Amino acid sequence: MRFGERLVKATAAHGPLCVGIDPHPGLLDAWGLPRDASGLERFALTCVEAFGGHVAVVKPQAAFFEAYGSRGVAVLERVVADLRGSGTLVLVDAKRGDIGSTMAAYAQAYLADGSPLAGDAVTLSPYLGFGSLDPALDAARASGRGVFVLALTSNPEGSPVQRATGPDGRSVAQSIVDQAAVRNAGADPLGDVGLVVGATVGELDADLSDLHGPVLAPGFGAQGATVADLRRVFGEDLRGVLPASSRDVLRHGPDSASLRSAARAVGDSLGL
Ligand SMILES: O=C(O)c1cc(=O)[nH]c(=O)n1[C@@H]1O[C@H](COP(=O)(O)O)[C@@H](O)[C@H]1O
């Protein structure tokens, strides 16, 4: 089954919340874990126990694993495998983007069957040009996976770049939306090329109505965005929008039952 179809099924069963696994060093401290690969492993596997099979999508943030070298990457591989085994969709947040020929290697790592880092989808950065992502988009299509391309990010530094106007009068963000929409054309109910639009971005000034793809909306919780902000950004119809939260849920650890009920409470607060 294609990624878009699996996502629709997963959100129908569990609601649209995407929970992030972001093992910040400060969170390891707060959970009473050492700042090393063993602490990382305990943290990550507790998250797997808490969320696996209980939320639609889990998003491990690759940088926090890479920080511990090969042992950290091995933990990420285990997280990907265990979550997929539990039936939860895994969005590996690696924000990859490179010239096309190198992009093919990233696509092999994150989007090909048999690769230990390949979850169900990966985040991509389009700032070497949307077309440079083609090898990843092709690989995702071939293996039934998905991608989430940064369009309007949640950080304030993104805005001058992403809202800049190109020679054709469209904003950079709108041209990313439009190119993703071309890839999703004809997909029903949801295509496999998603976008990232921060819940904190305020006025959207981009038209998502032809996207036919999912939208990851990070910034919910710790970065200050609320349910009202989600509605301000996306309007009343939040179909296809996946609000994402990491620290606001993870601060309820290390008890896995408390983490799970925090995720449920945040999910319920969305009223979706
Ligand atoms: O692609 C992302 O996930 C992402 C895009 C964006 O615009 N802003 C953003 O915060 N993120 C990620 O979403 C997570 C947010 O974490 P919290 O602020 O703790 O909820 C981090 O892993 C960020 O890297």
Closest residue to atom 5 of ligand 1, CA basis? 153
Closest residue to atom 22 of ligand 1, CA basis? 61
Any atom of ligand 1 within 6 Å of the Cβ of 245:
yes
Are 88 and 52 within 8 A, CB to CB? yes
pLDDT for 272 beyond 80: no
Q: How many residues does the chain have?
A: 272
- How many Å apart are CA 96 and CA 137, to the nearest integer? 12
Nearest to 239 by CA among 272, 206, 191, 204: 272
- In the prediction, which pLDDT does 59 show? 98
Q: Is the ipTM of this complex over 0.95?
A: yes
pLDDT (mean) for 54-60: 98
Any atom of ligand 1 within 6 Å of the Cβ of 200:
no
Catalytic residue among 24, 78, 84, 95: 95
Q: How far is CA 243 from CA 59, 115, 124, 198, in A?
A: 11, 27, 18, 9
Nearest to 116 by CA among 70, 150, 149, 148: 70
Closest residue to atom 7 of ligand 1, CA basis? 153
Closest atom of ligand 1 to CA, residue 247: 19
pLDDT for 124 beyond 80: yes
- In the prediction, which pLDDT does 237 show? 87
Q: How far is CA 138 from CA 109, 188, 191, in A?
A: 14, 18, 13
Closest atom of ligand 1 to CA, residue 154: 7
Domain 3-269 has CATH 1.10.10.60: no
Distance 217 CA to ligand 1 centre (A): 8
Are 67 and 46 within 8 A, CB to CB? no
- How many Å apart are CA 268 and CA 165, to the nearest integer? 38
Among 91, 148, 220, 223, which is best to mutate for testing ligand 1, by the most ligand atoms less than 8 A from CB? 223
Whether this model's pTM surpasses 0.95: yes
Annotation marks residue 95 as catalytic? yes
Q: Decide: residue 31, CB within 10 A, 0-12 exposed, 13-18 middle, 19+ buried.
A: middle
Distance 219 CA to ligand 1 centre (A): 6
Closest residue to atom 16 of ligand 1, CA basis? 246
- In the prediction, which pLDDT does 107 show? 98
| HEC sequence for 146-201 | EEEEEEECCCCCHHHHHCCECCCCCEHHHHHHHHHHHHHCCCCCCCCEEEEECCCC
**Which residue is associated with the tokens 């190198």?**
102
Q: Dump pLDDT digits (tens) for 132-174.
A: 999 999 999 999 999 999 999 999 999 999 999 999 999 999 9
Which H/E stretch holds residue 90?
Answer: strand 89-96
- How many Å apart are CA 85 and CA 41, to the nearest integer? 17
Whole-number percent of the chain with pLDDT over 70: 100
